[in-house]
Amino acid sequence: MEEVLSNLFLYWMIYSLLGWLVETIYCSVPQGHFVERGFLNGPICPIYGFGALFVLSVLKPYINNLFAVFILGMISTSILEYITSYLMEKLFKMKWWDYSDHKFNIRGRVCLLNSVLFGILCIVLTELIHPPIKFFVNEISLTLKYISIAVLSLITSIDFLASVRSIINLNHKFELIYQLKEQILEKLEHENVARKLNNLRESRNNFVENKLDNLKEFKESLVEMKENIDIDIDKVVISFHEKLKALQTENKYIEHRILLAFPKLKSIKYNEALQEMRKSMKEFRQEHSKKKKN
């Protein structure tokens, strides 16, 4: 029993690594540059590992029927992807991928194109990939398996905890950006900008109604009032943008990597803040590149 569980863990690690390679190549080739993928920092995509184990166990009775492997593999992996998307959205308050722009999608969580590709991968997995990997894993001594499992489990656990913590930090930053926007509105109201504007309108109305002779004096009062309003607004806006810029650009490595690894990542509650952070990150990278060239 212990050896069976050991083999399953090693299968999970191997297929998580292979999944990361497939995902990275699939996304990098169209972009023309390296695109790092995956929730974790290490070169593994756990969903592929679980998917492979699930497929190998479910499709075992149909292993000699390629059509059955394709259809059942396509359905089972799509179900797994849908459930994973749903659970991650509920746990982290974020939508990690979105296929809404693809034809024949279900709530943007799965789409026909990816399901077909997964069905093909299931055939490749059962016919070509798993037999040699199974032979390789069976040839490893039990002692070496235990050592490998201990080391890999520790590294993966640390990586997982660090990634989860980064997601929590990102959500906190999105909330802070949202709160800053609310603060600027409150601050403007506190500075009595609305009252000053009303006074401006009243002065204008008085001028029209009373036909004041001192036009020069009235114009000067308007200019002075406008300058005071502009100063009040500028103070608030400058302070807001300084805080906002700091929040948007001072991302730790893992937070930055997650945003790059999931280009369609959306925050359920603070998506506007997330998109602003992306924009700010892009501008920051462009400025940094210009400085390097100069």
- The Cα 14–Cα 186 span in angstroms is 54
User: Closest Cα partner for 266 from 44, 31, 88?
Assistant: 88
Q: What confidence tens digit (pLDDT) does each residue in 148-170 have?
A: 999 999 999 999 999 999 899 88
Residue 121 burial (CB count, 10 A): 22
User: Closest Cα partner for 177 from 251, 95, 240?
Assistant: 240
Higher pLDDT, 135 or 243: 135
Q: How far does Cα 66 stand from its chain's mean position?
A: 36
Of the candidate ranges 88-102, 120-134, 191-205, the one whose mean pLDDT is the lowest:
191-205
User: What rounded mean pLDDT belongs to the chain?
Assistant: 81
Band (225; pLDDT cuts 50, 70, 90): low
pLDDT of residue 194: 55
Residue 215 has pLDDT above 80, yes or no: no
Residue 224 has pLDDT above 70, yes or no: no
Mean pLDDT computed over 200-224:
54
Residue 79 has pLDDT above 80, yes or no: yes
Band (105; pLDDT cuts 50, 70, 90): very high
Residue 293 has pLDDT above 60, yes or no: yes
pLDDT of residue 192: 56
Sequence ranges of the domains in the chain: 2-140, 169-293
Of the candidate ranges 22-26, 29-33, 172-176, 186-190, the one whose mean pLDDT is the lowest:
186-190
To which residue do tokens 């913590």 refer?
165
Residue 228 has pLDDT above 80, yes or no: no
Question: Which residues lie across from 266 on neighbouring strands?
Answer: 95
Of the candidate ranges 16-30, 66-80, 181-195, 271-285, the one whose mean pLDDT is the lowest:
181-195
Question: What is residue 111's three-state secondary structure?
Answer: strand
Of the candidate ranges 246-250, 252-256, 269-273, the one whose mean pLDDT is the lowest:
246-250
User: Closest Cα partner for 178 from 247, 236, 237?
Assistant: 247
Percentage of the chain modeled with pLDDT above 70: 73
Residue 39 burial (CB count, 10 A): 20
Residue 229 has pLDDT above 60, yes or no: no
- The Cα 177–Cα 167 span in angstroms is 15
Percentage of the chain modeled with pLDDT above 90: 44
Mean pLDDT computed over 89-99:
92
State the pairing for strand pair 266-267/105-106: unpaired
